[in-house]
Structure 1
Amino acid sequence: MFIKLLLLIIFFAIMICIGIYCRKHATDVNGFVLGGRSVGPWLTAFAYGTSYFSAVIFIGYAGQFGWKYGIASTWIGIGNAFIGSLLAWVVLGRRTRIMTQHLDSATMPEFFGSRFDSKALKIGASIIIFIFLIPYTASLYNGLSRLFGMAFNVDYTICIIIMAVLTGIYVIAGGYMATAINDFIQGIIMLFGIVAVIAAVLASKGGFMEALSSLAQVEDPSASTIPGAFNSFLGPDPLNLLSVVILTSLGTWGLPQMVQKFYAIESEKSIHKGTIISTLFALIVAGGCYFLGGFGRLFSDQVNVETEGFDAIIPAMLSGLPDVLIGLVVLLVLSASMSTLSSLVIASSSTLTLDFLKDNFIKNMTEKTQVFIIRALIILFIAISVIIAIIQYRSNITFIAQLMGISWGALAGSFLAPLLYGLYWKKTTKAACWCSYIWGTGLMILNMVAGEIFPSILQSSINAGAFAMIGSMIIVPVVSLITPKLDGRLVSDCFACYERKVEVTAKISLGDEEDESR
């Protein structure tokens, strides 16, 4: 217990000291929300990765989908690395950074408002973000509580209050820069932690080959009648596995707290480095989490899924590890959760301040006032999410994965297509954006309150979220072709940033030298 507590105290002390140190970067809105757009590739890549993977992934998704699909759940982590990280950086990174700076946008709603010349679009996006980031935040606490309960036997309420208060301190003090530096440290912990945990868990089952052989012997007629389904290439249910890959991989393209990382990176050169770093990070952390979860059924004698739920699987797998490794796991999941929480509260509070309150309810808001309100809303947002997390836990409403599925489905279903088409296609219209907003939020709300009216495959919030994203990619271009176009000068000005002429030093080729000698 002493070792675990010592590791926690050192971890918390470092986080708070970094927050205090970074106060000088958080004196204005640009510094507090974007770190002055001067964050390097390593910090940005780790901030992207640690915001991506949290207790929701490690405790919720890895446990649930590892149990359902066996070793094939590793495909989810691979999809996260190559679709959610590599392709996201390649397709969105450069264009997002250039156009958002050109339009002077600090948030996703502000980008929509400037790109489509619509104040209403900006306000609508800010409301959607504030509402649907809350259930995602609540799910972070839930996952962490399971692990703390196993490691320290700490009351759930105390656990989430400590996490919320400490995260709030360094985010309020240092803003985005403090978050980015802490994310880097937390990311290193996650990298070492996941490798050590996988090695220890597999060793407890006789090593990799022995564990794989044991997994092949597991039978569950309710999941699959195929022998060895849980150690097969595509698992017992490839179609639903594909839905999870789509939601957790493509979904990041439309999440404000993820896309905002591209706003803050310092240069185009940094984007190239960040792409490689972020992809490798995701491959190790996400791939490792789902790979570990794939062996969950080997611990069925230690956990009763029907009574305890899927969220109890990973803690059961870790309960037999040495104290030092349990302490490392606690730091791993705490790092993942705090980094994601910090990104969520900054995205939500800055959006509500800059896109909803500013100019609409509070006129002529000074920079100092804006930063003060953002900090106040961070406190409010954390408090609301803590209350919801406690209510959700005590009422036993749903699993972590469903909470995250609702949030990701609504946000990505609303914003993914308008963002992507808005960055690449000049003919994207205002009406198409509204249709995407209505489609994404409407579908997920309906799934949440009346899921039984959907076909069986879409009753799951995971599948519904994937369907929301794919549907929006079709809706936006179709609606754009039949609705009034934006003013040509506005669109030309938005895309002018990609066509800016620059002077470069050209090397004289051998052919040129020969021509001169003649």
Structure 2
Amino acid sequence: MAIKMILLLVFFGVMVGIGLYCRKNATDVNGFVLGGRSVGPWLTAFAYGTSYFSAVVFVGYAGQFGWKYGIAATWAGIGNAVLGSLLAWVVLGRRTRIMTQHLDSATMPEFFGKRFGSTSLKITASVIIFIFLIPYTASLYNGLSRLFGMAFDIDYSVCVVVMAILTGVYVIAGGYMATAINDFIQGIIMLFGICAVIFAVLHSQGGFLAALEGLAKIPAEETAGPVAGAPGIFASFFGPDPVNLLGVVILTSLGTWGLPQMVQKFYAIKSEKSINTGTVVSTVFALVVAGGCYFLGGFGRLFSDKIDIAANGYDSVVPTMLSGLPEILLAVVVILVLSASMSTLSSLVLTSSSTLTLDLLKGHVIKKMDEKQQVSIMRCLIVVFIAISVVLAIIQYKSTVTFIAQLMGVSWGALAGAFLAPFLYGLYWKGATKTACWVSFIFSTAVMLADISPLKVHFPTLLVSPINCGAFCMIAGLIIVPVVSLVTAKPEKRLVDDAFSCYDERVTVRKSQTLGDPS
């Protein structure tokens, strides 16, 4: 217990210390929200990765999908690395940095407003973000409850409050730069922690081959359809249900392309080198952390004699797998999950506060707001968002309220479904229209809200799952935006030409970067 407490105190002390150190970088809006657009490649890559993966993935998703799909759940981690990180950086990174700087936009709603020339579009996007990020923020604490109960004799509410306060301190003090530096440290902990945990868990089962052999002996449940009773299915390449597994891969991977807290990491990129290095680093990080989490969860059924899914849910799978680890390794696990949760929490509250301040309050509710006032209001809103998320998390933990958890389940689908296609086409295609954005916003939010309402019973069987429903909304948006754009009024030529002129600006580079051929 002494070792655990010392590690926690050191961890929290470093996080807060970095926040106080970065105060000088958070004196204006650009510095507070984007770190002055001067964040280096490693910090940006780790900020992207740590915002991507939280306790929801490590405890919730790894346990749930590992139990359902066995070792095949690792495909979700591979998808996160290739589609959610590598392709996201390649497709979005450079263009996002160039156009958002040209349009002088610091948030995703502000991008929509300036790119499509619509204040109402900007306000609507900020409202959608506010509605769906709050329950997502509250859910970050859920994964900590069982782990803290296993490792410490401390009330869960106390742990939640302490974590929230300390996260708030370094975000409020140092803004994005403090978040990025802390994300880097937390990312290192996550990398080494997940490797150590995987090794320890597999070693407890006799090693990788022995664990895989044990997993192959477990037959699928009688309710598993065509594969019911089949042995070896949980150790197979695609698992018992490849169609629904594909939905998991799409939602958790393609979803990052439309999540404001993820995309805004590209706004802060410092240079071309940062893009190239960030692409490689974030992909490797996702492969190790996400791939490791789902790979670990895939062996959950080896502990089925200790797990009662009906009584305790899927969140009990990973904690049960870890319960037999040495005390020092348990301390590492707690720090790992704290790192994952605090990094994502800091990113979410910074995104929420900046969006609400710059896109909703500034110029609409408060007509005149200087730089100092904007930063002050964002700091106040960070306190508000963290307080709301703490209250929601404690209410959910101590009562039978399930609506919050359900709403969190659709938040990724609603946000990414609404924003992915308009943002992607907005960066690449001059023909994307304001009307098409509206249709994408309305379609995805309506469908995902219906998924937690009584209307859900009328959904096709494949879309009853929020995972599949969210994946459907993302893919539908990619079709809706071009189709609606082709049949609606064309965007104003001057507005579009001005937005895309940033890509035509000439730059001079060294020959180490290009041969400089006359062609």
Distance 2:388 2:451 in 1: 23
Alignment of 1:129-168 (within 5 A): 129-168=129-168
Quick check: 1:435–1:475 contact (8 Å CA) kept in 2?
A: yes
Alignment of 1:371-450 (within 5 A): 371-398=375-402, 402-450=406-454
Distance 1:505 1:312 in 2: 55
- Secondary structure in 2 matching 1:387: helix
Quick check: 1:195–1:288 contact (8 Å CA) kept in 2?
A: yes
Aligned to 1:480, which of 469, 482, 485? 485
C-alpha change, 1:377 and 1:227, in structure 2 (3 Å) is same
Aligned to 1:251, which of 238, 249, 255? 255
Distance 1:249 1:397 in 2: 29
1:102-133 per-position Cα deviation (integer Å, ceiling 9, x unaligned):
00000000000000000000000000001100
1:459 is aligned to 2:464: yes
- Secondary structure in 1 matching 2:150: helix
Aligned to 1:29: 29
Cα shift at 1:389 = 1.4
1:315 is aligned to 2:345: no
Aligned to 2:506, which of 501, 508, 511? 501
Aligned to 2:116: 116
Aligned to 1:470, which of 466, 475, 499? 475
Number of aligned residue pairs: 512
In the superposition, the TM-score normalised over structure 2's length comes to: 0.96
1:23-80 per-position Cα deviation (integer Å, ceiling 9, x unaligned):
0000000000000000000000000000000000000000000000000000000000
1:237 is aligned to 2:241: yes
Distance 2:289 2:112 in 1: 32
Cα shift at 1:199 = 0.2
1:177 is aligned to 2:177: yes
1:300 is aligned to 2:304: yes
Distance 1:229 1:149 in 2: 33
Quick check: 1:28–1:367 contact (8 Å CA) kept in 2?
A: yes
Cα shift at 1:380 = 0.4
Distance 2:336 2:355 in 1: 29
Amino acid at match of 2:203: A
Aligned to 1:58: 58
1:231-252 per-position Cα deviation (integer Å, ceiling 9, x unaligned):
0000000000000000000000
Distance 1:369 1:444 in 2: 36
- Secondary structure in 1 matching 2:375: helix
Distance 2:249 2:479 in 1: 19
1:67 is aligned to 2:67: yes
Quick check: 1:56–1:401 contact (8 Å CA) kept in 2?
A: no
1:274-305 per-position Cα deviation (integer Å, ceiling 9, x unaligned):
00000000000000000000000111111211
- Secondary structure in 1 matching 2:140: helix
Aligned to 1:289, which of 278, 288, 293? 293
Distance 2:131 2:190 in 1: 29
Distance 2:348 2:249 in 1: 22
Amino acid at match of 1:153: D
Aligned to 2:363, which of 359, 362, 365? 359
Distance 1:307 1:506 in 2: 64
Distance 1:141 1:319 in 2: 19
Distance 1:400 1:89 in 2: 32
Cα shift at 1:396 = 3.8
Distance 1:109 1:287 in 2: 32
Quick check: 1:60–1:399 contact (8 Å CA) kept in 2?
A: no
Distance 1:174 1:124 in 2: 29
Aligned to 1:222: 223
Cα shift at 1:386 = 1.2
C-alpha change, 1:254 and 1:118, in structure 2 (3 Å) is same
Aligned to 1:16: 16
Distance 1:246 1:404 in 2: 17
C-alpha change, 1:167 and 1:504, in structure 2 (3 Å) is closer
C-alpha change, 1:232 and 1:161, in structure 2 (3 Å) is same
What are structure 1's unaligned runs of at least 5 residues?
513-518
Quick check: 2:69–2:245 contact (8 Å CA) kept in 1?
A: yes
Quick check: 1:139–1:403 contact (8 Å CA) kept in 2?
A: no
Cα shift at 1:397 = 4.2
C-alpha change, 1:346 and 1:271, in structure 2 (3 Å) is same
Distance 2:235 2:407 in 1: 28
C-alpha change, 1:71 and 1:401, in structure 2 (3 Å) is farther
Cα shift at 1:364 = 1.5
Distance 1:195 1:485 in 2: 52
Alignment of 1:330-345 (within 5 A): 330-345=334-349
What are structure 2's unaligned runs of at least 5 residues?
none
- Secondary structure in 1 matching 2:141: helix
Amino acid at match of 2:395: I
Amino acid at match of 2:122: K
Quick check: 2:84–2:252 contact (8 Å CA) kept in 1?
A: yes
Cα shift at 1:400 = 9.3
Aligned to 1:43: 43
Cα shift at 1:440 = 1.1
Distance 2:150 2:245 in 1: 29
Distance 2:318 2:265 in 1: 30
Aligned to 1:269: 273
In the superposition, the TM-score normalised over structure 1's length comes to: 0.96
Distance 2:400 2:4 in 1: 29
1:7 is aligned to 2:7: yes
Amino acid at match of 2:484: V
Quick check: 2:135–2:404 contact (8 Å CA) kept in 1?
A: no
Bigger drift between 381-390 and 408-417 goes to: 381-390
Distance 2:467 2:315 in 1: 16
Cα shift at 1:221 = 2.3
Quick check: 2:406–2:452 contact (8 Å CA) kept in 1?
A: no
1:316-358 per-position Cα deviation (integer Å, ceiling 9, x unaligned):
1001100110000001110000000000000000000000000
Amino acid at match of 2:103: L
C-alpha change, 1:452 and 1:152, in structure 2 (3 Å) is same
Distance 1:401 1:232 in 2: 31
